[in-house]
Structure formats: C-alpha cells, structure tokens
Amino acid sequence: MEDSSQSRVMLWTLPSSFASSFVNWIGHQSPQGAPKVQIVINPYATAHDVGPERVRLPDDVNKETVDKWNQLHEDPNGNDGLYRKPIKDTDCSFKFAKDLLEQEFSDKKVVFCSDLSYGISGRFDMLPAGYLHSFLIRNPYKTLLSWRNLMQKCLGMDKDSFSVLVGDALYPVLDGYKKCWELIEHLQSQGNKVVVVDSDDIQQDPGAILTKYCILVGITFPESRLHWDVGNESMRDWISGRSLLSQDGDNDDTFVESTSLPPFQPAPKRHDVPFDILAYIDASMPYYLKMHAMRIH
C-alpha cells in the first residue's frame, strides 16, 4: 500500500522520444533535501519484448531482422538489467510489472516509472494502482528518424538494404502514437487525470515546463536542478529491464555521462527525411497533434 505522502507517477512514451533525458533529470532531483526518488524503467516494455508472456512479432516479419533484433537484447556478460537492480526476463510477466510498481518503496518520496506505451497495449487490466499518468510526446519527424537511424546502425545495414526492411525494424514505433492515444482515451474514460508534455517545449524552456509538470503530477522538489554531477549515487537504486542493456553490458551513456538536458534542435524538413518512413510519419501525425493540443505550455 503506497504512502499517502508519496507521489507515484507513470511517464508513458515511445522509443527515441527524449525519455532517457527526462528520466535522468527526475532521477537526479532531491525531494525534501534527500535522494528519495525511486526510478523504474520499462517494466511493461520488458514484459512485452522479452518476458515469459512476450508478444511475438508477426510471422511475415523478416527473419534476418528479427534475429539481429534479438541479438541486440542479449548481454554477452550474462547480466539481466541495467544499473544495480535488474529485472530478470524470466520473472517479468505483466503481473510481475504491476506488482513491482505497487510495492511500498517506503523509504522513497517519489516513485517514477518511465515505460513505452506499446508495452501495456491490450493489457490495460495490468495498469498499476495509485499512479498519476503522464505522457511524453515528440514530433514524429524526430522520433521516427531517430529510431530509423539507430536501427540501421544497430543492424549493420546499408541505407538501401535497410530501406527494404524499415517497416519490420521500426515496429515498436510504427503505431506507437496511436497506442499512446488509446491509452489516454482509456485512462480518461476511467476518470483518471492525464498530463501531457512535449519534449520540444521542455528543451526550449526547461525551467518553466518542468516546474509546471511537477506541480501537475504532484512532485515537490525543494530546488529544481537543470545540471547535476556525473555518476550521481542516486542511480544505485534504479530498476530497469534488460531490453535497455547495451551490447557490451555497460550502463547507457545517456544516463551515466550526461549532466544536463540536451539542447533543442528543430525538426528535420520533409525533404531531408528518408522516403521510406514518410508514410509512417504521416500516419502518426494525427495522433501526435491530438496529444500536442493537450500538452503543458
């Protein structure tokens, strides 16, 4: 049972949508003057991708892409997760994710979980109790281009070869905006408050937007810090699924080495975006615009 003085917040998002930077900022704050933030990363996405109830890819997805994708989720050092408290694949059912988030965490003032919206799609019965739900969105031109470039690099394919498989490789984000919107609609139908924040707004005015966000989700920081030290000791309690583990088994550089939020960059122009993702961007845009209209600003 959660402490009534404790704030519990879900941040739902998509891959390549600024979540790593956002979580890093939250995790390095100190409510009530002490490092009392419990960070949990992607328990539902882990259940969806690599847990015992994992959702299988469609049969028509290219086998080479699937094999390479699976290799990216394997850690040669035998570790099962990032940071000091990993989530093991064999444990991470959807119920495990829900039970994990509903733990007391009695020594924490804030429990903050960032997860990918596709991970809970079709399993709304497994949403955790006691949480306020927020959504981090990003312009589809940025998200899909970023994820495309990352997957092309990770899969080790040239531009032309990757273009043939782009729909398979991008499967986590292809309908991610739709899944975010469906989750928002479900939460609102149940009378839940929903808070939406856009990464562009954060990067352009971090002090104002993050202050508004914290007020709306009920998080109190004595002093909001936009800069922090490398390797903050508060990371020792972070909990994460193995799907975020890098190939060499080390912590992700975004978390370990960054000391501030990245600067704003404008979205690419349409003529600068590879043609093979334009249809996916166009399909995502209506859902993005609906959420964008709800955002903090």
Whole-number pLDDT of residue 205: 93
> With contact defined as beta carbons under 8 Å apart, do 235 and 27 qualify?
yes
> With contact defined as beta carbons under 8 Å apart, do 109 and 5 qualify?
yes
pLDDT digits (tens, 9 = 90+) for 210-248: 999 999 999 876 566 777 766 656 677 888 875 443 333
* CA dist., res. 117 & res. 24, Å (int): 19
- The pTM for the full model equals 0.86
> What is the pLDDT confidence band of residue 15, given thresholds at 50, 70 and 90?
confident
Q: What are phi and psi of 130, to 5 degrees?
A: 85, 10
> With contact defined as beta carbons under 8 Å apart, do 238 and 39 qualify?
yes
**Residues 6 or more apart whose Cβ sits within 8 Å of residue 258:** 21, 24, 230
* CA dist., res. 28 & res. 237, Å (int): 12
**Residues 6 or more apart whose Cβ sits within 8 Å of residue 100:** 40, 43, 87, 239
Taking 90 as the threshold, does the pLDDT of residue 209 lie above it? yes
pLDDT above 90 covers what percent of the chain? 40
> What is the pLDDT confidence band of residue 159, given thresholds at 50, 70 and 90?
confident
**How many CB atoms are located within 10 Å of the residue 271 CB?**
6
How high does pLDDT run on average in the chain? 80
pLDDT above 70 covers what percent of the chain? 72
* CA dist., res. 128 & res. 105, Å (int): 14
Closest CA to 177 of 289, 279, 287: 287
* CA dist., res. 158 & res. 118, Å (int): 28
Q: CA angle at residue 254 from 249 to 259, to 5 degrees?
A: 130
Whole-number pLDDT of residue 262: 82
Whole-number pLDDT of residue 244: 46
When mean pLDDT is compared across 80-89, 98-107, 150-159, 229-238, the lowest value belongs to 80-89
First to last CA, the chain: 34
**Residues 6 or more apart whose Cβ sits within 8 Å of residue 192:** 132, 133
Please provide the DSSP assignment of 156-185 as one string.
T--HHHHHHHHHHHTHHHHTHHHHHHHHHH
pLDDT digits (tens, 9 = 90+) for 246-279: 333 334 555 566 777 888 899 999 999 988 889 8
Whole-number pLDDT of residue 251: 42
pLDDT digits (tens, 9 = 90+) for 120-156: 999 999 999 999 999 999 999 999 888 888 777 777 7
Query: Which is it for strands 110-116 and 37-41: parallel, antiparallel or unpaired?
Result: parallel
Give the residue, 180 or 62, on which the prediction is more confident: 180
* CA dist., res. 208 & res. 212, Å (int): 6
For 241-258, b/e burial (b = at least 16 CB within 10 A) is: bbbbbeeeeebbeebeeb
Whole-number pLDDT of residue 245: 39
> With contact defined as beta carbons under 8 Å apart, do 294 and 196 qualify?
yes
Whole-number pLDDT of residue 234: 66
